[in-house]
Structure 1
Amino acid sequence: MQKEKILCLLHMPPPLHGVSYVNSLVIKNTKSEIFQLHLLPINYSTEITQIGSFSFTKLISFFSLVYNFISKILIERPKAIYFSITPCGKGFYRDSIFVFISKVFRLKIILHIHGIGINREINSKLKLQFYKLVFKHVNVITLSKSICWDIEKIKKVVKKVYVVNNGIEINLNHQVQKNHEAFNILCLSTITPLKRQLVLLKAVKLLKDKGYSNVHCQIAGQISNQKYYNTLIEYCNKNGIEKNVNFTGAIWGDEKNELFKTSDVFVFPTVWESFGLVVLEAFNYKLPVIATNIGSIPEIIDDGVNGFITNPEDANVISEKLEILIVDPERRKSMGEKGYLKLTQKFSLDNFSNQLTSVFEQVLDLDSRR
């Protein structure tokens, strides 16, 4: 039996970030006896700091990608296009070209929305009409029920909305190494104002003011905004917590694993997030997580069970939740175990791959061929 072809237009590493990581999992782990994925990678940038900026190199890459996209359609004759479209900003209008080309060839279209911002972007009748034109009669995958509100303005023109939670590979062999001489806090995210690392630093200061001098905070991640990074350093120096905080920069592989293994809690004070894949990573190391009630995070964290949910910008509450975990190591351990259990039950890579395979089969109308 000849397999149906799905042409996958996906952002792939480098640079490595949440979307490109998930896309690499899709290509590596989505298997079917009745369809096959053909990858056309998107690589406008090689560094996270290059994302969102204009260059003539990117412009050339775009036109080259358009040419290759049309060539792939003509040569490989796919039945559907699977595309990780940028949901807003200039990237959306660039990506819409590929949607329109797919419509010209009358291909089935699956748009996987990994971010949020559509609702905010549609601030005029003209933009609303353009978004409706792009999304009309296409299939949409969103990351959770919690963020379906973001496509509410265009939902009526969409053919069907599917909810597919992200998942990660579960490592069963993590040897957690705790240093009980210090309470180790980990925050892993791109250094940018939207991730609100400054709120965590304020919570660390509050803890130190209460006498918890053994608190140590590791802030890891690529510096995307140098001015904001300088603000973080300045805050530490002015408030006497420079010895309690360490900035590691971007980390990968064994170095990243080591940070998770030696941490007691993961804190994620973001104010702009669609899913929060890093929360799953923390669960993979049996860490309780303190995070904001943004995006899909309330579906991942059960407040008071495997972590704590806080409002954005609330350093006082983050400090209070950290203190709970400092003084009660048994609760800390229990919450970490429950986070790991939820990861295995709902957010495993197998669950993600199975859900995505099901979506592809439904879009291609292949269930009857099983």
Structure 2
Amino acid sequence: MKNSKPKILFILHVPPPVHGAAMMGKFLQDSSLINDTYECSFVNLSTSEKLNEIGQGGFNKVMRYFKLVYRVVHKAIKDKPNLIYMTPTSKGVGFYKDAFIALVLKLLGNNLVYHFHNKGVALNQHKLFDNFLYKLTFRNAKAILLSARLIFDIKKYFAKEDIFICPNGIPIIDFSPSEIENKPHMNILFLSNLLVSKGVYVLLEACQILKQLNLPFRCEMVGAEGDISAASLQEKISELNLHEQVVYLGKKYGEEKYALFSKSDIFVLPTYDEAFPLVLLEAMQFALPIVSSDVGGIGDMVTSHQNGFVTQPGDAQKVAEHLAFLIGDENEARRMGKNGREKFFASYTLEKFEQSMNSIFSDLTK
């Protein structure tokens, strides 16, 4: 009997390397709901195998790219999908590479939906060539955004009725959140790749302020090396005389990572540029009050005085003030953490994400 399920070709990022868009791609690839509802095929859009290769060139990456183009075109011609789902980079060379693939698929007559896990279109739309390419690539296509707060980034190229909103969601972890009970110091957790854009140096400046205030805290920094090396980080920690308060623990995954969340009291991500960071959802699940930046969709996840605080990016003084408040008022820190956990289960589980994506795909394949 002929399969009557709609066909979807997914062109997306999956690990390695590990980052938010790749994790969401993996969740989609493994989703029983999506795979049972549609006839799915998947192509990995990434040409980077390691985090530090992202944004870099090289012969190997060029060869991977041409192999990627061949695989995508071959799949599109062979499978004749009803819909092609793609997670493009929004700007720069990454967008140029993804746009070429998208334009080839459009020439073949395919219907495309773009799922934006990053932002940057609005920053580059004034450039003559970029504007021209955005118009060609996005014409007659649909878009999925992580938050309505990100509509500004693509509104020049997509009508409101062509934009769908689907927040990220993550699996429920079988770990109990810790309680703040008579601890000698508050445990502050930073968990992200070591990148300047993640606010690593902002956090260290904030920690220096906390030390000057003689507040009891320990800050554990966890993540893979990026444009900040482990050696550079340690050098900065020593320069600020924070070696007794701040420790870098390297990369942690799986149960080791969850154990860190479970024993922490506060989560901090003073990022400069973000769309919808999964790590904040993890922190919410573990009932941690959050101090982060008011960028991208973070304002959806974190509401000041309810489940944490949001600041303007780069404001180490404000980050320190909010951390000092949470360190000084355990009851408020506990209340905010519980509010965040409730919000996570209400809105940001993997099940809710899959249901939202399924509803969008249903609309787009009718």
Q: TM-score by structure 1 length?
A: 0.93
Q: Which segments of 5 or more consecutive residues in structure 1 lack a partner in the other structure?
A: 366-370
In the other structure, the counterpart of 2:22 is 20
Aligned counterpart in structure 2 of residue 9 of structure 1, from 4, 8, 11 = 11
- SS of the aligned residue for 2:44 comes to strand
In the other structure, the counterpart of 1:66 is 69
1:175–1:164 distance in 2 versus 1, CA, 3 Å: closer
- SS of the aligned residue for 1:37 comes to strand
Aligned counterpart in structure 2 of residue 52 of structure 1, from 52, 55, 59 = 55
In the other structure, the counterpart of 1:288 is 289
Q: Is the 8 A contact 1:178 1:261 kept in 2?
A: no
Aligned counterpart in structure 2 of residue 201 of structure 1, from 190, 204, 208 = 204
Residues 70-98 of structure 1: per-residue CA shift (max 9 Å, x gap): 22122222111111111111011111122
Q: Is the 8 A contact 2:307 2:337 kept in 1?
A: yes
- SS of the aligned residue for 1:40 comes to strand
1:84 has 2:87 as partner: yes
- SS of the aligned residue for 1:219 comes to strand
Stretch of structure 1 that moved more, 127-136 or 316-325: 316-325
1:197 alignment partner AA: V
Q: Which segments of 5 or more consecutive residues in structure 2 lack a partner in the other structure?
A: none
Stretch of structure 1 that moved more, 158-167 or 109-118: 158-167
Separation in 2 of the partners of 1:140 and 1:73?
Answer: 20
Poorly superposed stretches of 4+, deviation over 6 Å: none
1:354 has 2:355 as partner: yes
Q: Is the 8 A contact 2:142 2:158 kept in 1?
A: no
Residues 240-271 of structure 1: per-residue CA shift (max 9 Å, x gap): 21111111222211221121111110011001
In the other structure, the counterpart of 1:128 is 131
How many residues align structurally? 362
- SS of the aligned residue for 2:33 comes to coil
Separation in 1 of the partners of 2:249 and 2:92?
Answer: 30
Shift of 1:201: 1.2
Separation in 2 of the partners of 1:175 and 1:141?
Answer: 32
Aligned counterpart in structure 2 of residue 98 of structure 1, from 96, 101, 108 = 101
RMSD: 1.8
Separation in 1 of the partners of 2:233 and 2:75?
Answer: 47
In the other structure, the counterpart of 2:306 is 305
2:281 alignment partner AA: L
Residues 280-312 of structure 1: per-residue CA shift (max 9 Å, x gap): 010111100011111100111111011111122
Q: Is the 8 A contact 1:30 1:353 kept in 2?
A: no
Q: Is the 8 A contact 1:178 1:262 kept in 2?
A: no
Q: TM-score by structure 2 length?
A: 0.94
Aligned counterpart in structure 1 of residue 120 of structure 2, from 91, 113, 117 = 117
- SS of the aligned residue for 2:30 comes to helix
